[in-house]
Amino acid sequence: MEEGKLRFIDPPSLQRLDSVKLAQQWLASIDPDSIPEEYQPAADKCVVKWSLMSRTKINHVLEYLDSVLLHNPLSDNFDNVILALIKKAYSIDSDNDAKLLECPVTKRLIYPSVKSIHEGLTWRQRYYHAALRELMSKSPELLRNLLTDLTKGSAKNSIGYKRHAFNVALDQVDPQTRRENEEKNDALTIAKKSLFEFFEYFLDDYKLKVFKAVFLEPSKVYYRAIDRIDHAIFADVHAANVYAAILLATLGVQLPVLPYFDDDEDWGRVSFLRVAARNLQYRNALRALWSLDNLGKSSEKLAECSNFDIPNEERELEGSFFLPGRIPREIANSALDESLGSKPLRQELAQYLNVFMDFFKSHIVVEKALNMINQSMSSELQLIFDDFRVKDANIPAELTEYRFWIWDVNSGEFRIDRACKLLDLIGVLDYNPDLDDKMDKERKFPFDHFVPVETTDEGV
């Protein structure tokens, strides 16, 4: 196998690696051009730099918290941090009252619920503690929402749920980017840095929306349609670990959630494309979920995703996914098995990856990014355009605003080629106009030509 290629890890070595080292090994020397051939078409769709696809806000948060801990070590008792958060969130004076406070939404005691998450987080404990300490400066409303999220599912008390809660807490931390010596930089350099950082945060949010639309919401719709609401409820906590691990191992895509590779709970897993190949109403539900207009919406808000049943003969085994393995690390690793016998499984998985990466084609992700930048960072983008148009003789001298260049001043058409040129200057795209012109802009769904692979019990 080529040097730098994503490698299938032999089972004994796979079990010895802790989660951090496993993620690092899968991400190390990631080369989009050496991804297993079945997954290469999905990788080729992505116009965003792979260095950004393989990073996430959580990386920045952990680095930020490391810096904070270096200058301000954890000297306070963790229990006191929880009590302080509860007291601020609910305007309570007494520690005893805070310990006995019940969450109005989940009807669970907040203090023991939040405290129990800390147990079993291993290396994550210090970051969980530091994150909650950082959040003391947030508004009472935000803290109430956070504490509600942390108490959801706490009665289940599984390690998988605790890792999910850890991600929830870290997601609220703002890694305050330090820009020492920035005053020495010119305005153009500062604008590029600001836009690069803004795009990173946009991308985190966008990746998560696509992940939910492509993987999590289809799982929830399926389990609601077979009246297994328990599986639907815990898809975000448990099935997410399998799907996120697969994206990390196969494409080097890191989501703003850290997958728990040893989650042995199978809640929410399902080979949903197999179901879609059999059931028309479920196919229509997936089409609705994968519509660009519905990106980010809950399946419960979409009419196509409700009020139908999937008959027994069209169902999958509950909690199953077609790749071999019991826990996420095993399932994701099996996707890297390039043996001849595993080729049909790789071909089947490729269809899931293709749906995910469709959302990262230039004409989709770039327009969404530009709309966000136009709302929040227009002055910075104007600086980039001012510098660019001086060097590009093809831009008319009277065309001084980037908006009228990207959204054509005559036709009003969104010019994806021009938008890509500007974002390419910021350093967030791998834009090749010749390849991009050849990219199929039509969105295709895998239902009609889907051919599932027969699996044994070992493969579920």
Question: What pLDDT is attached to residue 409?
Answer: 79
The one-letter amino acid code at 376 reads: S
Q: What is the dihedral of CA 293, 376, 367, 404, to 10 degrees?
A: 120
Asked if 281 and 221 count as a contact pair (C-beta separation under 8 A), the reply is no
Question: What pLDDT is attached to residue 181?
Answer: 45
pLDDT in tens, 245-257: 999 999 999 998 8
Residue 145: pLDDT over 70: yes
- Reduced to 3 states (helix: H, G, I; strand: E, B; else coil), residue 414 is strand
Question: What pLDDT is attached to residue 178?
Answer: 46
Question: What pLDDT is attached to residue 170?
Answer: 86
Residue 419: pLDDT over 70: yes
Residue 157: pLDDT over 80: no
Question: What pLDDT is attached to residue 197?
Answer: 87
Q: How many CB atoms lie within 10 A of CB 351?
A: 18
Residue 60: pLDDT over 90: no
Among 35-39, 285-289, 385-389, the minimum mean pLDDT is found in 35-39
Half-sphere exposure of 450 (CA within 13 A, CB side): 24
**How far is the CA of 353 from the CAs of 210, 418, 459, in angstroms?**
11, 28, 19
What does 326-353 look like in DSSP terms, one character per residue? SSHHHHHHHTT--SGGGHHHHHHHHHHH
Question: What pLDDT is attached to residue 386?
Answer: 94
Residue 14: pLDDT over 70: yes
User: Pick the residue with more confidence: 28 or 40?
Assistant: 40
Question: What pLDDT is attached to residue 25?
Answer: 85
pLDDT in tens, 322-351: 999 999 999 999 999 988 889 999 999 999
Q: What pTM, to 2 d.p., does this model score?
A: 0.81
Residue 176: pLDDT over 70: no
Cα separation of the two ends of the chain: 27
Give 460's pLDDT tier (boundaries 50, 70, 90): very low
Burial 122-140 (b: 16+ CB within 10 A, else e): eebbbbbbbbbbbbeebee
Question: What pLDDT is attached to residue 403?
Answer: 93
Burial 356-395 (b: 16+ CB within 10 A, else e): bbbbbbbebbbeebbebbeeebeebbebbbeebbeeeeee
Residue 440: pLDDT over 70: no
pLDDT in tens, 197-243: 899 989 999 999 999 999 999 999 999 999 999 999 989 989 999 99
The whole-number average pLDDT for the span 7-34 is: 80
Among 179-188, 387-396, 447-456, the minimum mean pLDDT is found in 447-456
Q: How far apart are CA 163 and CA 161, in angstroms?
A: 5
User: Pick the residue with more confidence: 136 or 75?
Assistant: 136
The whole-number average pLDDT for the span 394-406 is: 90
Residue 53: pLDDT over 90: yes
